[in-house]
Homo-oligomer: A and B are copies of this chain.
């Protein structure tokens, strides 16, 4: 193979970093997990410490995956609080707002991965996620649920593919989204309490 051919292949062949996604590594990872399915068992963790009032702080760093304990490249620190109108100090977003961020981020990461795998170059993916909630539930004042009654996601997607292809990418992301699954279906949550 001549240098010219190699060069042509690099510039005009499949872009292995389309959309900033390393598709070669993505496909290699899929093959590796196919060969060793236990590698896909992960445990994620958040460590939270109450600060004052409704303000608490979580650190996210350690997790388990691909057979061993791992850490993120840096420790991520997040605050949460209630705004003044909900008798907090507004030192962070409310916990329910973090759910909306998680949903948008999960769907968007999927869109980028799937677009790349399908050879589509994205130019913009924006979304607004809204969650409607009647706080009479958590206040114990009316027989309504504690959580959101409904969540809406509105995506605006731009890329070098026809509309139906771009819509198909969003749909495939939805059908494989971990956060969408948890938020629409629920997950068993076990709470243990130790009194110090």
A residues with a Cβ closer than 8 A to B are 19-22, 25-26, 29-30, 33-34, 37, 40-56, 58, 60, 63, 65-66, 70, 72-74, 76, 78, 80-90, 92-113, 122, 124-142, 145-158, 163, 166-167, 170, 174, 176-196
Residues of the B chain whose Cβ atoms lie less than 8 Å from the Cβ of A60: 93, 97, 100-101
Tell me, in angstroms, the Cα distance from A85 to B104 when the chains sit together: 21
Tell me, in angstroms, the Cα distance from A19 to B191 when the chains sit together: 22
Residues of the B chain whose Cβ atoms lie less than 8 Å from the Cβ of A188: 150-151, 184
Q: Is the CB of A179 within 8 A of B95?
A: yes
* Number of copies of this chain that the complex holds: 2
Q: Is the CB of B184 within 8 A of A189?
A: yes
